[in-house]
Structure 1
Amino acid sequence: MKAKTLKKDKVNIITLGCSKNMVDSEVLSGQLLANEIDVVHESNKRDHNIVIVNTCGFIDKAKEESVNTILQQVELKQKGKLDKVYVTGCLSQRYREDLEQSIPEVDAFFGTMELPLILKKFEADYKSELLGERLLATPQHYAYLKISEGCNRTCSFCAIPLMRGGHLSRSIEDLVKEAESLARRGVKEIMLIAQELTYYGLDLYKKRMLSDLLKRLSDVPGIEWIRLHYAYPHKFPMDILDVMRERPNICNYLDMPLQHAADNMLKAMKRQITRVEMEELVQQIRETVPGICLRTTLITGFPGETLDDVEELKTFLEKQRFDRVGIFTYSHEENTSAFDLKDNISAEEKQRRAEDIMSVQQEISYEKNQDRVGQTYKVLVDKKEAGRYIGRTEFDSVEVDNEVIIQSDKKLQAGNFYNVKITKAYDYDLEGEVI
């Protein structure tokens, strides 16, 4: 009888959805490596025998992508190209029983907080001493820093609390240690992420502590940019703006999802804020940090939204002139309070409204970019692509914002900063030359 060759396991992690999922995959990778298990992230080499799909369950399109990815990996398993397929993340947390019945070929499903259980499948132990030891899936010069998990907000459209639970802040000490670890590995930019940044500290310290955290992080040697994502406008902690203004390595950048501008929509979405209050907040922010880049995201097609509401949203954009805007079409999510409302707008009409709104923002973005021509900015080079370098200013986050296209005869190094004079501007991108 021929003896079976024991081949060492190699795991490929596929990450879907947001940057918070990316961090979870990086932490899982670090744990597997510490247990001497080979691991890669989204590898195309097909030299792995186990796949872990880290899923997203946020909106319909994300759920569809997650299911399709699982089915693709199951098909590879059925063809004998994989030994095991595991599924984790938000979709698995939310629909585990349904998935177990509909895709029984998956070897195991795990929730969002079940990392130790995943490790047990590999006869591996969770190593709590590995604080901040992640296998970065990003380029080595930037990383996401997740400061909390879950959310206590009750926005009517959002299923995040169903998948991630209530808000849990990480301690300032742990976050500083992780930032120090990232800096030692060459990370120069950290992007603070959470379901809701501004709630940070209320559970752990009984008061909002984001400003204190920012001060401590800005003192970490080697961290040149700190960027804030996902700030909630209601009861916004203004003291973080003072820190932003005082500390040169905190980017003059704030991502603050507003979701809508019509008061009836804001009320139906349970956003706890009115249009007037949002306008006052935006004015205060701009007065406190002159030149700040404001990014927001919006939802269109929420149940009951009228064309008048869409026009009001467009007028709001024209008046406020945000630097960056993203837009989602409403997704009707089970077990949210909005699910009790009639999803009365077709997918096609939702998309049409989204495009109509973005056409307004496109013009604003073009005009704002034109104002940057002739100006010189500190630019972080991310990569070289098609013979040219791609970088970002402090006003641009990874993947979602503008890029600076740099033509240079001299060799530039990814992860280094250069002074770049802007020579051309487009709707969403800039061109420049190193000076």
Structure 2
Amino acid sequence: MKRIDVITLGCSKNLVDSEFLIRQFEAEGYKIEHDPSDPKGEIVVINTCGFIGDAKEESIDTILDFAEAKKEGKIQKLFVMGCLSERYFSQLGEEIPEVDKFYGKFNWKELISELGNSFRKDLIHERSLTTPSHYAYLKISEGCNRTCSYCAIPIITGRHKSKSIEELVEETRILASQGVKELQIIAQDLSYYGLDLYKKPMLAPLIEELSKVDGIEWLRLHYAYPAGFPMDVLDVMANNPKVCAYLDIALQHISDHMLKIMRRNVSKDETIALIQEIRKRVPGIHIRTTLITGHPGETEQDFEELIEFVGATRFERLGVFPYSHEEDTYSWKNYEDNIPAEIKQKRADQIMALQQGISQEQNQQKIGQTLKVIIDRKEKDYFIGRSSYDSPEVDPEVLISATNDLEIGQFYQVRITAAEEYDLYGQI
């Protein structure tokens, strides 16, 4: 049993966990395939997501598919870890006995012991990247202390726990030595970083220290929280050329009525003032946010207020999720999920239609500009890259004719020549 197929579902935070696990397996001589199109391993490990309904369904379907493969003798061992099994550990064990063992989100080290090996503490900061070798995700904390009404993350992950600055600098040094040039800084809540360890917000000092690591050229911030946002981070973004003028900050709604129901601990006026201050102090910044439609209590007036806010604020990047009624959350216990699914989706579609037009106009404004672009891959007639305003997987890309001889993982100055809603075209 020397080949293991590791399947990662859900977010980039799960991906980081899989990369740490894969490094341990490889150190013991296993051949690892990550998300193979044709799984052929004797052992399969599924790292699940349990955040919202669609993600849970995907995780369960994947487990069932491999449970059937095990019945047919195509694989010998099946293990499941991650958020879904953390959240529904006992139920899954009863309902899917074909799985050899379930692990939660934090005890995956025991899986190594299950295969007869010991966890290698000397490799504690090392990962085998599943991303292209020039960028990586850096998870700076786990858990969340917020009490948002709709969110199951604190139920799954527990309270916020920061990694130390020293640990993260060491992890970054190792990544840089492997050729990583770009870091996506991730957490359930960036804004809270350091409060548990250092008794004060420490995101700005952390970013400054990470930027000093030789080889790292871009750092990009994901998943900040508006309440208690560490304003000193804006000075770092404005003055440190390695820190991208990009911020992912989930707002979820804007009407005071809904912000109170959602238990966001921030008001409409405070939110608008924060966005204005961010744009004032970091000129040209690209802000990504996410919104929720159809949360219990959302009226047509609330939705109209939200869509008016989107139109007026003109976010550079935006995503929308129809509300998912999650077990054991505050909303689950206190509200009826009484807005029909089609209304939730219709509202989400309306916002995205508006955002599509905004994105088209903003991309058109980039025509003629010269942007620093990193090349991620080649597809048919184009090299595909990203500017400092774009995170992998979720944001616009820059397409450059493959008549140029470009090197994947390298930076180039690219003049933008054309634009669509979500993509740019350029020339070296």
2:146 is equivalent to residue 146 of structure 1: no
2:418 is equivalent to residue 432 of structure 1: no
**Aligned to 2:270, what secondary structure does the other structure show?**
helix
1:47 offset after TM fit, Å?
3.4
2:329 is equivalent to residue 343 of structure 1: no
Partner of residue 224 from structure 2, selected from 224, 227, 231: 231
What is aligned with 2:72? 79
Aligned identity (percent) is 54
What is aligned with 2:242? 249
2:388 is equivalent to residue 394 of structure 1: yes
What is aligned with 2:403? 409
Residues in 1 aligned to 2:331 and 2:77: alpha-carbon distance in whole angstroms: 38
1:32 offset after TM fit, Å?
1.2
**Aligned to 1:24, what secondary structure does the other structure show?**
helix
1:45 offset after TM fit, Å?
4.3
Q: How does 1:176-187 map to 2 (within 5 A)?
A: 176-187=169-180
Segments of 5+ residues of structure 1 without an aligned counterpart are: 1-7
Partner of residue 270 from structure 2, selected from 272, 277, 287: 277
Please say if residues 247 and 286 of structure 2, whose CA atoms lie closer than 8 Å, have aligned partners that are also in contact: yes
Residues in 1 aligned to 2:208 and 2:39: alpha-carbon distance in whole angstroms: 44
Please say if residues 40 and 75 of structure 2, whose CA atoms lie closer than 8 Å, have aligned partners that are also in contact: no
Q: How does 1:12-411 map to 2 (within 5 A)?
A: 12-339=5-332, 340-411=334-405
Q: Which amino acid aligns with 1:141?
A: H
Residues in 2 aligned to 1:32 and 1:204: alpha-carbon distance in whole angstroms: 31
Residues in 2 aligned to 1:60 and 1:46: alpha-carbon distance in whole angstroms: 26
Residues in 1 aligned to 2:125 and 2:315: alpha-carbon distance in whole angstroms: 34
Q: Which amino acid aligns with 1:268?
A: I
Higher mean C-alpha displacement, 150-159 vs 129-138: 129-138
Q: Which amino acid aligns with 2:356?
A: Q
**Aligned to 1:229, what secondary structure does the other structure show?**
strand
Q: Which amino acid aligns with 1:404?
A: V
Residues in 1 aligned to 2:135 and 2:42: alpha-carbon distance in whole angstroms: 30
Q: Which amino acid aligns with 1:320?
A: T
1:131 offset after TM fit, Å?
3.2
**Aligned to 2:122, what secondary structure does the other structure show?**
coil
1:44 offset after TM fit, Å?
3.1
**Residue-by-residue CA offset, 1:214-240 (whole Å, 9 max, x unaligned):** 110000010010000000000111101
**Aligned to 1:25, what secondary structure does the other structure show?**
helix
1:116 offset after TM fit, Å?
2.0
Residues in 2 aligned to 1:26 and 1:235: alpha-carbon distance in whole angstroms: 31
**Aligned to 2:310, what secondary structure does the other structure show?**
helix
1:97 offset after TM fit, Å?
1.1
Q: How does 1:2-17 map to 2 (within 5 A)?
A: 8-17=1-10
**Residue-by-residue CA offset, 1:384-431 (whole Å, 9 max, x unaligned):** 012211111000101111111111412111101111111111111111
**Residue-by-residue CA offset, 1:268-327 (whole Å, 9 max, x unaligned):** 111000111000000111111100010100000100111111111111011111100011
**Residue-by-residue CA offset, 1:142-183 (whole Å, 9 max, x unaligned):** 000000011111111000011111111001011001101001
Q: Which amino acid aligns with 2:65?
A: Q
Residues in 2 aligned to 1:128 and 1:275: alpha-carbon distance in whole angstroms: 47
Residues in 1 aligned to 2:262 and 2:39: alpha-carbon distance in whole angstroms: 44
Q: TM-score, normalised by structure 1?
A: 0.97
Residues in 1 aligned to 2:274 and 2:83: alpha-carbon distance in whole angstroms: 32
Q: Which amino acid aligns with 2:175?
A: L
Residues in 2 aligned to 1:406 and 1:15: alpha-carbon distance in whole angstroms: 30
What is aligned with 2:413? 419
Q: Which amino acid aligns with 2:267?
A: T
**Aligned to 2:223, what secondary structure does the other structure show?**
coil
**Aligned to 2:378, what secondary structure does the other structure show?**
strand
**Residue-by-residue CA offset, 1:1-41 (whole Å, 9 max, x unaligned):** xxxxxxx4311110000000000000110111122233221
Q: Which amino acid aligns with 1:140?
A: S
Residues in 1 aligned to 2:109 and 2:387: alpha-carbon distance in whole angstroms: 39
What is aligned with 1:3? none
The change in CA–CA distance for 1:46 and 1:278 in structure 2 (over 3 A counts) is: closer
**Residue-by-residue CA offset, 1:107-136 (whole Å, 9 max, x unaligned):** 110000002211111111112221331111
Higher mean C-alpha displacement, 130-139 vs 214-223: 130-139
**Aligned to 1:345, what secondary structure does the other structure show?**
coil
Please say if residues 132 and 182 of structure 1, whose CA atoms lie closer than 8 Å, have aligned partners that are also in contact: no
Residues in 2 aligned to 1:192 and 1:119: alpha-carbon distance in whole angstroms: 27
Residues in 2 aligned to 1:319 and 1:353: alpha-carbon distance in whole angstroms: 17
1:104 offset after TM fit, Å?
0.9
**Aligned to 2:88, what secondary structure does the other structure show?**
helix
Q: Which amino acid aligns with 2:342?
A: E
**Aligned to 1:44, what secondary structure does the other structure show?**
coil
1:46 offset after TM fit, Å?
3.6
Q: TM-score, normalised by structure 2?
A: 0.98
**Residue-by-residue CA offset, 1:200-223 (whole Å, 9 max, x unaligned):** 111111111111101100000100
Count the aligned residue pairs.
427
